[in-house]
């Protein structure tokens, strides 16, 4: 909210005091009574007094009621048509009074007056007391006269009145008082023909509590100063130049303030121009406030109550406290309820409002903002036109401010005029800078946005952002989409739901799932439920299983991917490129290295993959391998299987602790429509080999199989040499055994590389 409503009420109340108590009263009485009290009686003096006299009185009555009386201690006729009156008292009576108490009158006292018949000028050479619109019986002593309700009392000296021009003026100090105020000025001029009264300079007024009572505001006395004041009858207005109002530390000032009156002498409106400023001090319940504008218009209703006010011309304001604020607008319109309380505020023509400092800072910019208020407290604010809200960064200070934009915002406020929530639509956009320098900002768009702000020590800190409808996300090379998104700045995590999709052009990864979490601190994307991952833009390499330029696909219940290109798939994953396939409870894949790791999970399911090899007839047959753990490096074309490894191909099964598979380079096979081809297999640890045709069983420590020549080389240990069992030929042992998949040859090697063959035949039992 751009303006503190409690402070506005205070200085608007001061204006009401000035308008109701001073301007109305002074104008109403002075413009008329000053003319009648001075002009007409002094004309009578010039006509009736023709010689020196001691203590004489001239009285005129009509219908039994006095019209006026003139008395002087002495009247002296000078030469050349000049007269001198000493100790003069002039009384002008009102009409229609039925009792002495109802009688109204005007009085003028002066020690000495001089009158020039030729020039028509009457001049008081000493002090003059003017008592306008007094009631009851006239006082004989001007020193005892005080202003009462409906009256005005003036004291001055050097007062001169010209009968021909109708102008009365003085260059001396003038003092005046009414029940609502008293004041002074230096010099005054009254034109009875135009009915214009000018207080020439150094105008100062001091209001009383009676003024506040009549204005129906609960404020104390006020000091009003002006460099010049002009009161006119047509139009009925008062002009205050260089005006300044001070009350209990509060102040209002302007280069000029014009007050326009209605026929009943109540204020219609006031116009202030030039350096319009209002200031209020800080106290226990509020903040110090300062408001500036180039122009202001105040409109009044019945009993001079403020109806509305319009501030324009580079309006700006600021408050200072533990939560300072400032703002600006081209135009501000305030609508008032009873007791000058603001109920609506419309700020327009480019509005900016800022609150707080550092990480607690927030601001709002819009073409226009409408504020609704209750009992002086903000309830709601509605923007018009494209708008922007900027909220301070994280509480740690590592990140810059968050910017939220939309075509329209509706903001709700808590006590203390602090923002509680914001709804923006359509064309919502949220921009969040990176926590680290040099990193790209995160930009999200949607149809709607809901923002929640913290209270207590968090104050204006953004705690939650929800975006709904056609959500789009961009942060550097990473983009995402969904139906709905939730972002918690404190966690720096964004949650996507409703057909979410994440694409990272740098890592070449695309992910879809039921829900996806994006962690900006770790750059991780966590997906859950029907996760489908695709690595696109794969360039053909020199490897084997992952060397194709085709996309790599992965499905799994869960996945965690990083912007570096690595990802972990769990819950039962399946990875494939073309005809190459790996299945495992958990798969870790690094796109940049073309490396993967697969392992079993709590369910005990095995890692599974399939390759191909060429059999003795030249046909390609599959090689299925299962294990508890697998690693594969495509640049090395090597897959390493560990833990209960089983490799099966047509007619042969191999088991061991570790099996290493070397694949043929993709460029050498020239085939992209089938699994990678095996070049060599090496098995180690607790090795068992079972072949059906020819029938063999082999045991040893290490077995190396070369596909190109179908050759197996089997090694053992000194304690347990390798052995081959042939049902037809018996057991064969040696330091090393070499046999072939295409025939039944067996070569036995020794330490001297000599070939020895040992055959142990099994005696057949006689048939019964």
In DSSP terms, 154 is beta-bridged to: 130, 176
Burial environment of residue 728 by CB neighbours within 10 A (0 to 12, 13 to 18, 19 or more): exposed
How confident is the model at residue 740, as a pLDDT? 86
Question: How much is the average pLDDT of 221-237?
Answer: 83
The closest of 681, 684, 718 to 701, measured between CA atoms, is 684
Topology of domain 556-693, per CATH? lipopolysaccharide transport protein A fold (2.60.450)
Q: Which residues contact 479 (CB under 8 A, 6 or more apart)?
A: 472, 473, 502, 503, 504, 505
What's the pLDDT score for residue 448? 97
- What pTM was computed for the model? 0.70
Residue 32: the pLDDT is 42
175 touches 161 (CB < 8 A): no
* CB neighbour list of residue 98: distance below 8 Å, 6 or more residues apart: none
What is the enclosing helix (H) or strand (E) of 246?
Answer: strand 237-247
Residue 212 has pLDDT above 70, yes or no: no
Tokens encoding 708: 């190109």
Q: How confident is the model at residue 2 (pLDDT cuts 50, 70, 90)?
A: very low
pLDDT for 1: 37
Per-residue pLDDT at 25 exceeds 50: no
Compute the chain's Rg from CA coordinates. 51
Which among 555, 554, 550 has a CA at the least distance from the CA of 537? Answer: 550
Q: What is the pLDDT of residues 472-502, one digit of tens each?
A: 998 888 899 999 999 988 788 899 999 999 9
pLDDT in tens, 442-475: 889 999 999 998 755 555 678 899 999 999 998 8
* 412/96: higher pLDDT: 412
- 659: enclosing H helix or E strand: strand 652-663
Q: Which CATH topology does 5-355 take?
A: lipopolysaccharide transport protein A fold (2.60.450)
**Which pLDDT tens digit goes with each residue over 38-94?**
444 434 443 333 344 456 676 777 766 677 677 777 767 666 667 777 788 777 776
Q: Which residue has the tokens 């930009």?
A: 443
Considering only residues 235 and 628, tell me which one the structure prediction assigns the higher pLDDT.
628
394 Cβ contact list (under 8 Å, min separation 6): 359, 435, 489, 490, 492
Confidence (pLDDT) at 83: 72
Q: In this structure, what is the dihedral angle of CA atoms 13, 18, 23, 24, given to the nearest 10 degrees?
A: 40
Tell which wins on pLDDT, 765 or 113: 113
Tokens of 209: 């509590």
User: For all residues of the chain together, what is the average pLDDT?
Assistant: 79
- Domain residue limits, the chain: 5-355, 556-693
Residue-wise pLDDT for 267-304, tens only, equals 788 899 999 998 877 765 566 778 899 999 988 877 66
Fold agreement between 5-355 and 556-693: yes
Nearest Cα neighbor of 199 from 223, 243, 169 is 169
**Residue where the block lists tokens 């809200």:** 389
Nearest 10 degrees: Cα torsion 230, 232, 236, 240: 0
The residue with greater pLDDT, 516 or 322, is 516
């Amino acid at each position: 909210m751009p303006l503190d409503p409690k402070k506005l009420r205070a200085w608007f109340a001061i204006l009401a005091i000035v308008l109701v108590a001073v301007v109305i009263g002074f104008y109403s009485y002075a413009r008329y009574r000053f003319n009648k009290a001075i002009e007409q009686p002094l004309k009578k003096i010039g006509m009736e007094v023709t010689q020196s006299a001691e203590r004489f009185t001239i009285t005129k009555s009509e219908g039994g009621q006095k019209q006026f009386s003139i008395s002087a201690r002495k009247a002296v006729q000078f030469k050349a048509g000049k007269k001198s009156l000493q100790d003069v008292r002039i009384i002008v009576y009102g009409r229609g009074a039925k009792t002495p108490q109802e009688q109204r009158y005007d009085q003028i006292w002066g020690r000495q007056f001089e009158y020039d018949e030729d020039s028509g000028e009457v001049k008081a050479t000493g002090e003059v007391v003017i008592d306008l619109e007094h009631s009851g019986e006239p006082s004989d002593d001007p020193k005892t006269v005080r202003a009462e309700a409906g009256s005005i009392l003036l004291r001055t000296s050097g007062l001169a009145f010209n009968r021909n021009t109708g102008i009365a003026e003085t260059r001396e100090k003038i003092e005046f008082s009414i029940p609502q105020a008293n004041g002074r000025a230096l010099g005054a001029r009254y034109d009875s023909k135009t009915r214009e009264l000018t207080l020439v300079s150094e105008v100062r007024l001091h209001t009383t509590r009676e003024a506040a009572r009549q204005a129906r505001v609960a404020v104390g006395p006020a000091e009003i100063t002006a460099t010049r004041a002009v009161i006119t009858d047509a139009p009925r207005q008062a002009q205050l130049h260089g005006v300044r109002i001070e009350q209990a530390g509060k102040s209002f000032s302007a280069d000029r303030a014009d007050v326009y009156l209605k026929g009943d002498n109540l204020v219609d409106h006031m116009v202030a121009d030039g350096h319009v400023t209002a200031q209020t001090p800080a106290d226990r319940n509020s903040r110090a406030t300062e408001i500036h504008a180039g122009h202001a218009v105040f409109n009044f209703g019945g009993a001079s109550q403020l109806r509305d006010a319009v501030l324009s011309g580079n309006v700006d304001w600021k408050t200072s406290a533990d939560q300072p604020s400032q703002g600006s607008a081209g135009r501000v319109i305030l609508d008032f309820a009873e007791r000058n309380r603001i109920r609506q505020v419309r700020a327009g023509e480019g509005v900016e409002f800022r609150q707080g400092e550092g990480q607690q800072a927030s601001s709002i910019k819009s073409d226009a903002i409408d504020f609704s208020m209750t009992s002086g407290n903000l309830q709601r604010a509605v923007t018009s036109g494209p708008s922007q809200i900027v909220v301070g960064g994280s509480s740690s200070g590592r990140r810059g401010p968050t910017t939220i934009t939309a075509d329209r915002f509706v903001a709700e406020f808590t006590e203390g005029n602090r923002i509680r929530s914001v709804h923006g639509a359509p064309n919502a956009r949220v921009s969040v800078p990176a926590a680290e320098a040099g990193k790209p900002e995160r930009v999200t768009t949607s149809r709607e946005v809901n923002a929640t702000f913290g209270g207590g020590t968090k104050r204006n800190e953004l705690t939650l952002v929800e975006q709904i409808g056609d959500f789009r996300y961009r942060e550097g090379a990473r983009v995402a989409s969904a139906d709905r998104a939730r972002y918690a700045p404190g966690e720096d995590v964004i949650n996507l739901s409703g057909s979410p999709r994440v694409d990272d052009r740098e890592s070449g990864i695309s992910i879809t799932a039921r829900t996806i979490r994006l962690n900006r601190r770790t750059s991780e994307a966590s997906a859950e439920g029907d996760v489908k991952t695709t690595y696109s833009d794969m360039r053909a390499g020199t490897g084997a299983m992952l060397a194709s330029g085709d996309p790599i696909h992965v499905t799994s219940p869960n996945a965690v991917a990083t912007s570096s290109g690595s990802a972990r798939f769990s819950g039962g994953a399946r990875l494939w490129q073309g005809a190459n396939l790996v299945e495992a409870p958990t798969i870790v894949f690094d796109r940049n290295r073309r490396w993967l790791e697969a392992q079993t999970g709590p369910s005990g399911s095995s890692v599974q993959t399939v390759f191909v090899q060429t059999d003795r007839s030249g046909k390609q047959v599959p090689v299925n391998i299962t294990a508890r753990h697998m690693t594969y490096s495509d640049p090395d074309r090597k897959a390493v299987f560990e833990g209960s490894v089983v490799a099966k191909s047509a007619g042969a099964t191999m088991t061991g602790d570790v099996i290493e598979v070397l694949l043929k380079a993709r460029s050498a096979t020239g085939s992209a429509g089938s699994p990678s081809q095996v070049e060599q297999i090496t098995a180690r640890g607790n090795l068992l080999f079972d072949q059906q045709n020819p029938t063999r069983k082999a045991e040893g420590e290490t077995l190396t199989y070369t596909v190109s020549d179908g050759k197996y080389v089997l090694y053992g240990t000194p304690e347990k040499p390798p052995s081959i069992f042939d049902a037809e030929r018996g057991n064969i042992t040696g330091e090393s055994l070499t046999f072939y998949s295409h025939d039944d040859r067996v070569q036995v090697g020794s330490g001297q590389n000599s070939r020895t063959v040992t055959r142990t035949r099994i005696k057949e039992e006689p048939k019964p």
